[in-house]
Amino acid sequence: MTALQQQLFNLQDLKYRDFHAKLLPGIDKGTIIGIRTPILRKFAKDFAAQEESAQFLHKLPHHYYEENNLHMMLVANIKDFENCLKEIERFLPYIDNWATCDLPAPKCFAKNKEVLLEHIKEWIHSTHTYTIRYGMEMLMRFYLDEDFRPEYLKLVTDTTSDEYYVNMMIAWYLATALAKQWDATIPYIEKRILPAWVHHKTIQKAVESYRITDERKCYLKTFR
């Protein structure tokens, strides 16, 4: 066990591990330490100031789930966009679960949307489940407001996959798009363009959203 791993085990909460493991069915429970996210985030902030953190980013793959989350947290705080992007792309192939994938995006991404978009397109066309999911999630987080373009919807909906976590991300993206870009998105529901599972999951998530009016929710329900 490395010194870092020992430090992480010192933060272990076994009850939380048992609970969280149920949310990660594809992950070996033996690789989950059990650290609550706020505690790991505080650890990451302190660890980032140590020289060892740079070495840690280059030691891939990691063994523990929390090491992967720590890795994502460290990369998200890199201020230089080019360096941050390089580290993200180096780490994406090692992501093996939705929770690591869905951690907060790097802050520097928001100021470099034009360049980021080209990488997002590449990620979405990947064959790796969580690289695809990450690309779609970045498209959802940064390009559904003033930077939205209707063709981004097609970029997502043209993706066909048998992977649950890709299809769930497509539904999440579209439900969010219905909340933010209704006029551009609703035809995908009205014309039943989507695969049946994605279609129904999109409606479900949209109906559960507090950002969509009751009137629109009633309309969506007619397409179930």
pLDDT at position 213? 97
Contact 94, 56 (CB under 8 A): no
> Looking up tokens 């999951």, which residue turns up?
201
Identify whether 153 is part of a domain.
Answer: no
User: Per-residue pLDDT averaged across 70-88, rounded?
Assistant: 98
Contact 136, 173 (CB under 8 A): yes
Identify whether 140 is part of a domain.
Answer: no
Going by pLDDT thresholds of 50, 70 and 90, the confidence category of residue 188 is very high
Identify whether 61 is part of a domain.
Answer: yes
* Chain segment 9-30, per-residue pLDDT in tens: 999 999 999 999 999 998 999 9
Identify whether 94 is part of a domain.
Answer: yes
Identify whether 53 is part of a domain.
Answer: yes
* Chain segment 113-143, per-residue pLDDT in tens: 999 999 999 999 999 999 999 999 999 999 9
Contact 86, 95 (CB under 8 A): no
Identify whether 126 is part of a domain.
Answer: no
Identify whether 12 is part of a domain.
Answer: yes
Helix (H) or strand (E) holding 203: helix 196-208
Residue 156 carries which side chain, given as an amino acid letter?
A: V
Supply the Cα-derived Rg of the chain in whole angstroms.
19
Total domain count for the chain? 1
d(CA 186, CA 192): 10
Contact 26, 32 (CB under 8 A): no
Predicted TM-score (pTM) of the model is 0.95
d(CA 210, CA 214): 9
Identify whether 56 is part of a domain.
Answer: yes
- Biggest alpha carbon distance in the chain? 57
d(CA 72, CA 66): 10
Q: What is the mean pLDDT of the chain?
A: 97
pLDDT at position 74? 98
Q: Residue 56 belongs to what domain range? A: 1-101
